Structure 1
């Protein structure tokens, strides 16, 4: 399917992820991140189990084309331990983290990432989260700023040996 076809079928539905989505999620992860940056199959199985309410997929024509996932925590910024240790989600309020947002490159340019961020924001509002926080590479800062996130400067994260930036969006 080429981009022209996608525009004709650009209706995206967003729903909670489930284990049947794992293969598509892992494929999108590999396409969007280096091997050092990418989450593992075991990490994604754990995220699917423990982050049921905050793991969303974007679907076009019954195909998973993007996803967003992260825990609700008391911390106000992403820390590297969050990629490794997923806790059961029983926090009300707190702060919503985005561990990963990724869109299949074939479907990039159709605002799917923005729609996933919007759905995540709405989810965070219903859970009384104070903020949504994420880290990104410098090349992606403008995308997040366009979606209402504020660049808080260089992150303490050294995930995958990269230089990351903290971005935060207030929910309430």
Structure 2
């Protein structure tokens, strides 16, 4: 298995994994991923087994302290030297869940953000996953202002 950064060549595989992991109202589109990969492909962590993408984590950097819905749709808001690494998605294909793949990618994203001198990482998740992200040091800050996909999200922050 190999962890590597994202490029436009990965677009089809990334969009397919996203579609397998999230309902349509919550999933990013191939077009959105194309913009993300062009603007901040170095902030994608992809776990490949041969030619098969098993899992990925993506997000961008910003000085804004909270994750907002507009960040998902507007890749141009990325600031390479931003204080915070936002995490937009943590995706593992259903057949490969509960094998630690998402955790490996999160640990790599955390290590990279620390090495890049960021203040920490921010993500949003559904209530059922709050305990999962807490295992990595993320702290629940309560219900997020996000209404992405018509779902209640909780903002989680890991400070260095």
Gaps of 5+ in 1: 1-11
Residues 1:168 and 2:157 are matched in the alignment:
yes
Dislocated runs of 4+, deviation >6 Å: none
> TM-score w.r.t. structure 2 length?
0.94
Gaps of 5+ in 2: none
How many pairs does the alignment contain?
160
- Is the partner of 2:76 in helix, strand or coil? coil
1:76 Cα shift?
1.4
The partner residue of 2:27 within 27, 38, 41 is 38
Q: CA RMSD in A?
A: 1.3
Kindly name which structure, 1 or 2, has the bigger radius of gyration based on alpha carbons: 1
The partner residue of 1:146 within 119, 135, 142 is 135
Equivalent residues of 2:5, 2:42 under 8 A apart: yes
Equivalent residues of 2:57, 2:91 under 8 A apart: yes
Equivalent residues of 1:93, 1:128 under 8 A apart: no
Distance in 1 separating the partners of 2:77 and 2:70: 15
1:21 Cα shift?
1.5
1:152 and 1:88, CA in 2 relative to 1: closer, same or farther beyond 3 A?
Answer: closer
> TM-score w.r.t. structure 1 length?
0.88
TM-superposition CA deviations, 1:67-88 (whole Å, max 9, x none) = 1111100111210110111126
